[in-house]
């Protein structure tokens, strides 16, 4: 079948098209252990890509231009660790974008540790009541769970360190006594 496609129809195999990168290769370049996360990002519409038939199974592929655009967005950095990127060109793009952005994402655990609170319920309550303006919810971060129960909240460091403690603490219940 693929010989007919290449020789007679003059079509390029889905994984040999130079405009695309496979989900597996992208996962390797981003320093991920497997391509499950990339496949989930494509399936959920976070990363523009497609699933194409290849021999006896389907493979995912992404336009290289989409990858370049996506890795420079600050919200994308929540899905992978920029310091683990193995591709030097992608790493350089992300480093420049991070310097230009000048902020960082903090998890609810990191926010709670910063303020010295005992657990994350206080920050979850503040998010629920709309007190955290930059909160972003990441569902299915691992690529394994489809339910919102397995989700994480992140917020901008610049907002967290500039909070008026009186406004935040009115949601906090003292759990010491």
User: Tell me: the pLDDT tens digits for 7-45?
Assistant: 665 555 556 788 999 999 999 999 998 888 898 888 888
Please answer whether residues 85 and 32 qualify as being in contact, where contact means their C-beta atoms are separated by less than 8 angstroms.
Answer: no
Please answer whether residues 39 and 60 qualify as being in contact, where contact means their C-beta atoms are separated by less than 8 angstroms.
Answer: yes
Q: Give yes or no: residues 18 and 79 share one domain.
A: yes
Q: Give yes or no: residues 109 and 142 share one domain.
A: yes
Number of domains comprising the chain? 2
Q: Give yes or no: residues 89 and 24 share one domain.
A: yes
* pLDDT band for position 159 (cuts 50, 70, 90): very high
Residue 49 scores a pLDDT above 60: yes
Give the pair of three-digit tokens for residue 160: 């967290």
Q: Give yes or no: residues 48 and 129 share one domain.
A: no
Q: Give yes or no: residues 83 and 130 share one domain.
A: no
Q: Give yes or no: residues 9 and 76 share one domain.
A: yes
Query: Does residue 8 lie within any of the structural domains?
Result: yes
Q: Give yes or no: residues 87 and 59 share one domain.
A: yes
Q: Give yes or no: residues 112 and 140 share one domain.
A: yes
* pLDDT band for position 143 (cuts 50, 70, 90): low
pTM: 0.78
pLDDT at 11: 52
Q: Give yes or no: residues 81 and 146 share one domain.
A: no
Q: Which residue range forms the structural domain that includes residue 124?
A: 105-169
Residue that is written with structure tokens 């909240």 in the block: 153
Q: Which of 69, 86, 101 delimits the end of a domain?
A: 101
Q: Give yes or no: residues 92 and 112 share one domain.
A: no
Q: Give yes or no: residues 28 and 91 share one domain.
A: yes
Instruction: Read off the pLDDT of each residue in 101-106 and give the average, rounded to a whole number.
Output: 96
Three-state secondary structure of 9-62: CCCCCCCCCCCEEEHHHHHHHCCCCCCHHHHHHHHCCCCCEEEEEECCEEEEEE
pLDDT at 76: 93
* pLDDT band for position 64 (cuts 50, 70, 90): very high
Q: Which of 50, 77, 101 delimits the end of a domain?
A: 101
Query: Does residue 177 lie within any of the structural domains?
Result: no
pLDDT at 177: 42
Q: Give yes or no: residues 77 and 19 share one domain.
A: yes
Query: Does residue 149 lie within any of the structural domains?
Result: yes
Percent of the chain surpassing pLDDT 70: 78
Q: Which of 56, 78, 101 delimits the end of a domain?
A: 101
Residue 147 scores a pLDDT above 90: no
């Amino acid at each position: 079948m693929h010989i007919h496609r290449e020789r007679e129809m003059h079509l390029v195999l889905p994984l040999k098209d130079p405009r695309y990168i496979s989900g597996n290769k992208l996962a390797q370049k981003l320093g991920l252990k497997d391509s499950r996360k990339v496949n989930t990002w494509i399936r959920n519409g976070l990363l523009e890509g497609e699933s194409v038939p290849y021999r006896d199974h389907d493979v995912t592929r992404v336009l290289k231009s989409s990858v370049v655009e996506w890795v420079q967005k600050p919200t994308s950095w929540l899905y992978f660790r920029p310091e683990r990127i193995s591709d030097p060109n992608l790493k350089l793009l992300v480093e420049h974008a991070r310097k230009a952005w000048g902020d960082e994402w903090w998890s609810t655990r990191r926010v709670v540790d910063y303020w010295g609170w005992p657990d994350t319920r206080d920050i979850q309550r503040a998010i629920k009541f709309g007190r955290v303006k930059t909160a972003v919810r990441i569902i299915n971060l691992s690529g394994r769970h489809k339910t919102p129960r397995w989700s994480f909240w992140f917020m901008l460091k610049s907002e967290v360190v500039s909070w008026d403690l009186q406004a935040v603490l009115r949601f906090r219940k003292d759990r010491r006594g």
